[in-house]
């Protein structure tokens, strides 16, 4: 299969629609890491993503009879736009099944490129199942977004361009992984032509399906998948892509949401372009490698794989960037509840800038404050500050890596319930009309809602923190009811971000 893939990559004739994107040196990043760092600008494709390569190449392999019946795919974004544009270019009717939660900008993008949009379900899995049904009923050819050898070959043309554009020494090339189509095509071409180059796959920590498959020895399904980097939010690596990746990838690096946000800012600083989270993923992995390995003579190359992000996501990305670069630390600090204690605390912070300070009177003797402080990047200054506060006799808890604190607590500090039977849970709401109504209907009015906080991040799902006055024995009933309408929950009652500021 690998030999066949190399030949298919060589035979791809896609450049009447696809463009050869530039390989740009990232001057700021190169100076920061004392290494030559380059970005392959797939965000500059006509659909602002590499997906056009694979979709178009697949259509070119189909017979005229097959194309005359039309094609269909399930997608929440980039594959949909790539297939729609490629189909219109060839005069083929394309139907794209998209979840009802798909942001309007992506629905409009598919329609603008000639695709017929069918909205179905709240998740990609539901949309994909419906697309398969329509494929059978209407005789439409199903174009898989990644697990198809011709799609993979089309994506692999990006690597052909990279090695042609960068003939000098290359240390490593970093490839984002969702289903694995881009990574499989590029990795096999790189190892065929330049086996000395390291091929490093990069995944989100909460959607690392390739790493999981390598650990299990076979494609396996993750129990749950984080949705921030929605372009690579895949629970199971492809069967074909896994076979092509398992022996060609030298390493898998995983990155946090904060690290991805920091990489988005780095791309903006160097190129003035705004990558989507999946588009900046490979750079986030490159940065972790560069920090670990130190300066390199050979080039480090990341594929900026896409730029289809919603404008309203930028607020959230900006908020998380400082933590991603480790330039902000978040602490819960207990100080005396007396005049002058706040001034004394700020004095002990020295000349560091306070980025946030949240406080609500609770006890007559002690005050617990939620404080954000600017620190130097790298983590050492954060650790020093933590120790300094402890040495000054302040009880302190570092909340910098606490997801509940960063997503919810910092926006709702103040007031406590003092209920003995309160439990707090987190869930995700699909961004569609009626989601809140479905949630409340499942509760059935059996428990008092004690807390509710919702955050929209411009993605398919919003994050919700909610509290209930509920007895321990009723929790299985709660979980069962919510599961029936598609909501899974996690208990956060013991989280210090809740215990210190809201319990």
Residues known to be catalytic: 51, 305
Torsional class of 477: left (φ above 0), alpha (ψ -120 to 50), beta (otherwise): alpha
Residue 141 sits at the vertex; the CA angle it makes with 207 and 70, to the nearest 5 degrees, is 120
Q: Which residues of 433-451 are buried (b: 16+ CB within 10 A; e: fewer)?
A: eebeebbeebbeeebeebb
Q: Residue 395 gets which letter from DSSP? A: -
Dihedral sign, Cα of residue 486, residue 492, residue 493, residue 498: negative
Query: SS3 for 39?
Result: strand
Q: Which residues pair with 231 in a beta bridge?
A: none
Regarding beta strands 170-176 and 141-142, do their DSSP bridges make them parallel or antiparallel, or are they unpaired? unpaired
Residues 178, 151: Cα–Cα separation, whole Å: 14
Residues 45, 17: Cα–Cα separation, whole Å: 9
C-alpha 276: how far from its chain's center? 9
DSSP per residue, 332-372 = EEEEESSTTHHHHHHHHTTTPPEEEEE-----SSEEEEEEE
Query: What are the counts of helices (DSSP H) followed by strands (DSSP E) for the chain?
Result: 20, 18
Whole-number Cα distances in Å, 94 to 54, 74, 143, 195, 226: 15, 11, 10, 39, 29
């Amino acid at each position: 299969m690998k030999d066949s893939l190399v030949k298919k990559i060589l035979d791809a004739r896609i450049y009447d629609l696809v463009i050869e994107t530039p390989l740009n040196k990232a001057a700021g990043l190169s100076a920061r890491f004392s290494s030559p760092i380059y970005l392959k600008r797939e965000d500059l494709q006509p659909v602002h993503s590499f997906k056009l390569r694979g979709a178009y190449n697949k259509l070119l392999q189909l017979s005229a009879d097959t194309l005359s019946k039309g094609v269909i795919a399930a997608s929440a974004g980039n594959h949909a736009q790539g297939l729609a544009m490629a189909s219109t270019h060839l005069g083929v009717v394309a139907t794209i099944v998209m979840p009802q939660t798909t942001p309007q900008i992506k629905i409009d993008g598919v329609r603008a490129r000639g695709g017929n949009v069918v909205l179905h379900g709240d998740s990609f899995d539901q949309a994909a199942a419906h697309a398969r049904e329509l494929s059978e009923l209407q005789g439409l050819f199903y174009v898989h977004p990644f697990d198809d050898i011709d799609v993979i070959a089309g994506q692999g043309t990006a690597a052909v361009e990279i090695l042609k554009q960068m003939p000098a020494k290359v240390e490593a090339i970093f490839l984002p992984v969702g289903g694995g189509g881009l990574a499989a095509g590029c990795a096999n071409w790189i190892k065929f032509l330049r086996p000395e180059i390291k091929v490093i796959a990069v995944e989100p920590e909460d959607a690392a399906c390739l790493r999981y498959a390598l650990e299990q020895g076979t494609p396996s399904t993750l129990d749950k998948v984080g949705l921030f980097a929605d372009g690579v939010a895949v629970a199971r690596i492809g069967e074909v892509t896994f076979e092509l990746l398992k022996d060609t990838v030298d390493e898998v690096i995983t990155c946090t949401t904060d690290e991805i946000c920091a990489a988005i800012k780095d791309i903006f600083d160097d190129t003035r372009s705004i990558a989507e989270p999946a588009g900046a993923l490979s750079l986030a992995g490159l940065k972790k490698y560069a920090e670990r390995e130190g300066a390199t003579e050979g080039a480090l190359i990341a594929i900026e794989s896409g730029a289809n992000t919603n404008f309203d996501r930028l607020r959230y990305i900006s908020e998380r960037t400082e933590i991603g670069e480790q330039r902000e630390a978040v602490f819960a600090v207990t100080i005396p509840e007396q005049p002058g204690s706040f001034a004394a605390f700020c004095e002990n912070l020295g000349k560091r800038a306070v980025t946030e300070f949240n406080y609500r009177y609770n006890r007559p003797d002690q005050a617990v404050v939620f404080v954000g402080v600017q620190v130097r990047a790298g983590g050492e200054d954060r650790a020093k500050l933590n120790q300094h506060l402890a040495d000054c006799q302040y009880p302190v808890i570092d909340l910098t890596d606490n997801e509940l604190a960063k997503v919810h607590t910092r926006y709702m500090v103040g007031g406590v319930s003092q209920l003995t039977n309160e439990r707090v849970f987190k869930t995700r709401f699909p961004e569609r009309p009626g989601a809140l109504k479905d949630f409340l209907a499942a509760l059935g009015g059996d428990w008092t809602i004690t807390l509710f906080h919702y955050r929209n991040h411009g993605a398919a799902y919003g994050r919700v923190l909610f509290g209930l006055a509920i007895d321990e024995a009723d929790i299985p009933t709660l979980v069962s009811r919510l599961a029936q309408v598609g909501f899974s929950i996690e208990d956060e009652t013991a989280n210090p971000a809740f215990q210190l500021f809201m319990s």
